[in-house]
Structure 1
Amino acid sequence: MNAGHQTTRRLVSSVGQSVCRACRHSLSRNSYATAAAAVQTDDSAFQHVPPVASTEPQASYAVKGGVLLSRPPQITRDLHPFEAAYFLYQRRLNERLALPFTRYFYIKKRSPADLEWKRKLRQRLTPARDIGRYKGYGDEAWNDEVLVGANESDFQWQVQRLVKDAEQNGLEDKSEEGGPVRAGKKVEREPVERPLSRVTEADTKGDLKSLNRLLQRTLYLLVKDKEGHWVFPQDRLDQENLHTAAERILKQSGGINMNTWVVGNVPVGQHQHDFAPESLKASPNPHQLGYKTFFMKARIMAGQPILTENKLGLTDFKWLAKEEVQKAVRKDYWQSVKNMLTER
């Protein structure tokens, strides 16, 4: 019997009848556990052997920071043909529902607005020129659906009709009383500002370096590196976090002419490039298996890249949409970055 068991028996016998059976059992169990733990601690102290440090270099990857610099869409997207047809149907339906009410429900009788209504209705035979001519009374009043391929469903046609309507005042063909216009009477009208075209000169010329193209899409900055590959601006980390590295890379690649903003402190994706086994054998650092690039998201507000004094060895740049990026970069690179790019 060891010392721990003898101590426990003496303690139980000395307490005697003053301790209940349950307490004696708990006391005996705790004493045994305490003695066993003490013995185990003493044995483990002699059995611990410190690990031997390995002098062999570990295989690793270099870490790079990349920047997804983008220009967001500048205008709304073009309507789908179904959407354009639906909106035209809603405007025609609104006019049909308004016909049962007299116009004096909306316009005061013999007011300037009432005279303007009469002039234009006599001239174009419909209150709203952009929806085409619609006669709400007669045997064909129900037949107001637009045929497939009709001009009325085209957005540009509607804009031109609205501008033309705004440039007229109803006096071009008839006088205010309905008779012919007196000779020598000049109709003056304030000039109407026409909307700008949704297709720019850069779109027509195919200028991939212009930010004034594909106004409905998001454009991304792609640069050509020293190896001749099209990639996003990137460089090795130099004892810095990813946010600071992204700001430095933008300045070193495009200069200070760009007004940019790095969004957040967390990367939106990463790309892993493994070196070929042949290049590893000839490399001065064969334990570096490749590099991993972590991309930060950024926006450009103004300016353009200037590569004349860049410090990353870049030779060219482009502003491309998502499907254009796919055609420019390598396949493995595209598989890593495609989910970081927006469809619009």
Structure 2
Amino acid sequence: MNTYDPDTLLEFSANLIEAMGSPREDALIVARHLVEAQLAGHDSHGVIRLPQYHSHVREGKVKPGARVEIVRESPTTALLDGHYTWGQVTAMKAIELGIAKAEENGIAALSLRNCYHVGRVGVYPLAAAERGLIAQVHCNGHGVCRVAPWGGTEPRLATNPIAIAIPTRGEPLLVDITTSVVAEGKVRVSRNANREIPDGWVLDSEGRPTTNPADLYEGGSLLPLGGREGHKGYGLSIIVDLLGGALSGAGCGTMTEEVGNGLFIQLTDPACFCAREEFLDHVERFTEYLKSSPLKEGVEEILLPGEPEQRTAALRRKQGLEIDDGTWGQLLELAKGLGVEAPGDS
């Protein structure tokens, strides 16, 4: 296990992405998203993705430097086509456009198609909540799927995350969850670190429970969110797939061969419905009420959605980011192939 300064890792990641053929500005956007995901404790959406991104560039699944197009637009809506540039670039353009529309008109809805992997979905509604807006993002995955329908064994859905952010007088509340029992990237992290995964995450190609992360990538499948009540996560996943994929025209599940994400974004200004300070009062009183609940034995504190990530980020900024040997080895190999100097090489 190696530990690296976040700024060093950001520069290294941006250099790798630029060497893949990306404009420097776009490379920095993508690298920042990866490192910030790692800071928040979501290593599954961090620099572990860079070798995968490079493979997809070589295969033509992502087109660095392509320009995002606004296909259709009204004062409160927009349809964007990413033309398979970096998903983080497309999604940030969409959320910035949505913020401007919601600030002017009170509400906004946007749909994205031809969008490569957007990374950690929670960062997008968080950006809007930091501007005082309520935001939700539904993100489907299409072309490559890892989740079997409830009762099935063949993957036909993606992990299809939902992220919702609520503004407060402090840090926004953020719910950022997959509709599968776990994000695919967390299985990838375990595979790279040669660790078993918990029972109840994955079925092998024969539909049998397994704790071997490699089984997911050999015809296995993730289970829907909910464990024994997995029909609930399955139902949510269908809705996300349709909102993100059907509405945008991106496509749903494995019914399309193109690999990427389809997004549906909704932004709301609370002031459309009540005075902003009144809304924030309600949020503050309710969250304080939740945190003041009597605690179960062994529990030190009730946390709100988003607090674990905020605390992890603060700690990791001080202590640095740990990268397992398997992932770091992949990054060094990638750097060598691209002619990029790795930290510690000089």
TM-score, normalising length: structure 1: 0.17
Higher relative contact order (CA 8 A, sep 6+): 1
